[in-house]
Amino acid sequence: MYKIIQWSTGNIGRQTLAAIIDHPDLEVAGVYAFGSDKVGLDAGELCHRPRVGIEATGDVDALVEMEADCVCLTPVFYDEDILVRLLRSGKNVVASGGFIHPEGVQSEEFMERIEAACKEGDSSIFGSGVNPGFINAISILLTHACRQIESVTWDEFSYAGLYNSPESWSYMGLGLTPKEREKRGASALPDPDAPNSLDFSVFSEAVKLTADALGFEVDEYRYGEEIAVATKPIEVAWTTYETGTVAGLRHWVTGYVGDKPVLTGRVNWYMGLDLEPNWIPERSTREYLGRIAIEGEPSIHCDFGIGRGRLHDPQLVENAIDPALVATAMPVVNAIPAVCEAKPGIRTYLDLPMMAAKHLVKI
């Protein structure tokens, strides 16, 4: 039995916390909550589960000193110094963002701090999610059937009109006309001079991971984006995207060898179906869609959809976007045993054994 500290209880954290409570091999040891309204609540209350006798706390020192095997780190933003303390204390960490590859987008100095903390604490850290992470593991596995490879591309298609996060979409310039968005500096590109940059550069770690698996070095990373505008008003829960305003985004990072594009990771987000240009596959209107295209000998094309299943949790899965949140959370939770047994340092899919939903078969 592995003792786990859940660090934050937001959209992803509620999913990982529920999974930890449900898992026969895992036990909740502690919960960190950012909001004072959550401090003192039982862990089960925070994720629609029965009470488990563990209350959420904002006491960082107490959690660092607590005996636990692993920390499940799920906030969008985290304190780097606290992360170093957790690793030094001997706690392994699984994260739902970043740490896809040891040569991350953080500064070299920070990554060296993480490696040193792991060495001191004899601990490991692993990052995943549905994208980047899970989709890259699938892409790498599919290349196992190839004799030659020319290029690998992976796409995420997400119907964002169901994801109620107005601040995030406004931050990226949705709802503005293309000219207004350009003037404001909203961008998916890793541009420090763009005040509203999404900093999509974190996805370059997934390109580096895939390149390592295939045994070559990327010479250059190039980033790009494309917008789509509404061809008629698109109503969502929090606003209406008027005709001619930005209601769809696609952005990507490509790894080049010389002048040849070899590896591309791309995301496609859209508020509705009435867009120009319209690059939305019909299947993705019903479920989150991952699409992988390997061009080579032979070429391999693979789609996987994530949607509601017969065993869905009626308390947590409330709309079509929630299964994707579960699929973001579970590659992290299901990796906990392997990460706890791994060698110290930043570990990736290339270091760990093949993982599965072990002991989670509904019998």
| Angstrom distance (rounded) from CA 363 to CA 360 | 9
Q: What is the DSSP letter of 353?
A: P
| Angstrom distance (rounded) from CA 151 to CA 354 | 24
Order of strands across the sheet that contains 260-270: 275-276, 220-230, 246-257, 260-270, 148-159, 288-297, 300-306
Q: Encoding tokens for residue 322? A: 């929630």
The answer, as to whether pTM is greater than 0.75, is: yes
> Topology of domain 2-128+335-347, per CATH?
Rossmann fold (3.40.50)
Q: Cβ-count burial of 139 within 10 angstroms (0-12 exposed, 13-18 middle, 19+ buried)?
A: buried
pLDDT in tens, the chain (363 residues): 999 999 999 889 999 999 999 999 999 999 999 989 999 999 999 999 999 999 999 999 999 999 999 999 999 888 999 999 999 999 999 999 889 999 876 788 889 999 999 999 999 999 999 999 999 999 999 999 999 999 999 999 998 887 777 888 888 899 999 999 988 876 655 555 544 445 566 789 999 999 999 999 999 999 989 999 999 999 998 999 999 999 999 999 999 999 999 999 999 999 999 999 999 998 887 788 999 999 999 999 999 999 877 665 655 555 556 788 899 999 999 999 999 999 999 999 999 999 999 999 988
Alpha helices in 67-107 (DSSP H): 80-88
- The residues spanned by each domain of the chain are 2-128+335-347, 131-308
pLDDT score of 318: 54
- CA dihedral angle for residue 80, residue 85, residue 91, residue 95, rounded to 10 degrees: -10
**3-class SS at 333?**
helix
| Angstrom distance (rounded) from CA 307 to CA 286 | 8
- Strand segments, DSSP code E, in 56-184 are 56-57, 70-73, 92-95, 124-127, 148-159
Contact status, residue 251 vs residue 189, Cβ threshold 8 Å: yes
Contact status, residue 136 vs residue 206, Cβ threshold 8 Å: yes
Q: Cβ-count burial of 267 within 10 angstroms (0-12 exposed, 13-18 middle, 19+ buried)?
A: buried
CA nearest neighbour of 292 among 256, 328, 264:
264
| Angstrom distance (rounded) from CA 8 to CA 50 | 19
| Angstrom distance (rounded) from CA 266 to CA 226 | 11
